[in-house]
Structure 1
Amino acid sequence: MKNLSLLSALLILAVTISVAQAPKAQTTAQKQTKILIETEYGNMTAVLYNETPQHRDNFVKLIKQGWYNGSIFHRVIRNFMIQGGGKESQMNDPGYTIPAEFNSKYFHKKGALAAARKPDQVNPKKASSGSQFYIVQGQVLKDQQLDMFEKQTNKKISAERRAAYKTVGGTPHLDDEYTVFGEVISGLDVIDKIAAVQTGSGDKPVKDVKMKITVIK
């Protein structure tokens, strides 16, 4: 009888330990990498998604190498996006691409951090640039505009995406075409400030908008 009671106690203890440890394991699994993007117009904090591991790991690698420090946002289009990531000039990249990592959870709402790429004609698999990225500004859209987009593209916009595009705004025509691998969680106003700068040929800012990116520990 004593042995039976001891066995029962051990089983209860094992279950208790398992339950107690579960939240910790879940928290660890959900932890996301945070980065800081510093500019003269203010700072942006962003998270990198775990569901796009190749893009996340490559971005972190380049950040730690100092690739982005002193680089510029070389293409800025108001109500659309701000693009950067080329070292020394917009044409200079690491010399490799990253396979697309599309995920239906992530889309081009305002603040989305996504990878630039070459067009479909020369890049049918939609592989991402090794270093260039863009951050979405976009614009707030109405139901009529989203309905028209659905008709023109024959693509259904989910309720979640529709709600986001009607409130914070974004660029739905880029969805499932470019890999979204993170998002700005603080400093959305900085996107607006950079997007409003004066630009010249090729949508390049007349005055360089430099950046510094670090991983937040």
Structure 2
Amino acid sequence: MKAQEKETLVLIETSMGKIKVKLYNDTPLHRDNFLKLVKDGTYDGLLFHRIIKLFMIQGGDVTSKDAPMDKPLGEGELGYTLPAEIRIPKYFHKKGALCAARTSDDVNPDKESSSCQFYIVSGKFYTDHEIDKMEAERIEKLRNSIFGKYGVTENDTLKAYARPAEKTAYAIERDSLARKAMAEYEARFQEIHITPEQREAYKIEGGAPHLDGNYTVFGEVIDGIKTVEKISMVATNENDRPLQNIKIKTMKIVAK
């Protein structure tokens, strides 16, 4: 049996403490891009420019270094994007997840990731009731999207617009579309199903389950989660920028 490839560790030294993360090997595009930026010193001196309590801390805007407090941040990029490497349900938005930021679906339907901006989940705790409700909403949304795309319903019916002479042929077409819709729904069910592992993590550790399946998770915090929590609780302005700059002093590749 082939030995598992060793995961790379990165130490993020911030002005509020240290955070050590490991990068997943089965998100290689994100891993290698992140490591390149670490080696190049791209992140050194940048800010955690967007912080939302009980949610996440975000950094990596390449225009944020020494940015005055009145400068809008969040648009600084490196001129390229990364193809999504969403590995749901294996990797999900549990507390401490290291994830790639991206632009919204309306301009980015393929969910491609930012070249440099990332976030670390601080998250909140969820109850079974909240998780059940979230999963039910996901199921309904996916059903409506898929069955609507094929023009069928879960009862395998279409709107009655065919002439009587065409009913038999149209029924065959209807059934074919319905089977295609059901096959796609079943294939994509893992995108929205909340596994027992996810459920336990969101109840015991906390996280941000509403982001699952939509953003690439490419690593996780293995040491320094208290620093993440401390950063996540700082005071911010109306744009979620901390009132006092929180710097990424350095990032370095380290051994275990």
TM-superposition CA deviations, 1:62-115 (whole Å, max 9, x none): 011100000000000000000010113232211100000011210000000000
State whether structure 2 residue 98 is matched by structure 1 residue 123: no
Q: Distance in 1 between matches of 2:121 and 2:213?
A: 14
TM-superposition CA deviations, 1:108-159 (whole Å, max 9, x none): 0000000000000000000000000000011111101101101111132101
Aligned residues with identical type, % of pairs: 50
State the shift of 1:205 in Å.
0.4
State whether structure 2 residue 143 is matched by structure 1 residue 168: no
- Matched with 2:12 is 37
Secondary structure at the residue paired with 1:151?
A: helix
- Matched with 1:47 is 22
User: TM (normalized to structure 1)?
Assistant: 0.86
Q: Distance in 1 between matches of 2:15 and 2:36?
A: 24
**Segments of 4+ moved more than 4 angstroms:** none
State the shift of 1:30 in Å.
2.9
- Matched with 2:241 is 204
Question: 1 or 2 for the larger relative contact order (CA 8 Å, sep ≥6)?
Answer: 2
- Matched with 1:195 is 232
Q: Give the residue type in structure 2 aligned to 1:125.
A: D
In angstroms, what is the RMSD of aligned CA positions?
A: 1.0
State whether structure 2 residue 105 is matched by structure 1 residue 134: no
Q: What is the correspondence of 1:33-182 to structure 2 with a 5 Å cutoff? A: 33-89=8-64, 90-104=74-88, 105-154=90-139, 155-182=192-219
Q: Give the residue type in structure 2 aligned to 1:118.
A: T
Q: Distance in 1 between matches of 2:76 and 2:201?
A: 34
TM-superposition CA deviations, 1:162-206 (whole Å, max 9, x none): 011111010101001000000001111111100111101310001
Which of residues 185, 192, 213 is equivalent to 2:251? 213
Q: Distance in 2 between matches of 1:103 and 1:53?
A: 12
User: TM (normalized to structure 2)?
Assistant: 0.73
Structure 1: 5+ residue stretches without partners: 1-21
Q: Distance in 1 between matches of 2:244 and 2:79?
A: 27
Across the two proteins, how many residue pairs are aligned to each other? 192
Q: Distance in 2 between matches of 1:107 and 1:92?
A: 26
Structure 2: 5+ residue stretches without partners: 65-73, 140-191
Q: Distance in 1 between matches of 2:201 and 2:222?
A: 14
Secondary structure at the residue paired with 1:201?
A: coil
Secondary structure at the residue paired with 2:133?
A: helix
**Please, which moves more after superposition, 181-190 or 150-159?**
150-159
State the shift of 1:50 in Å.
0.2
Secondary structure at the residue paired with 2:200?
A: helix
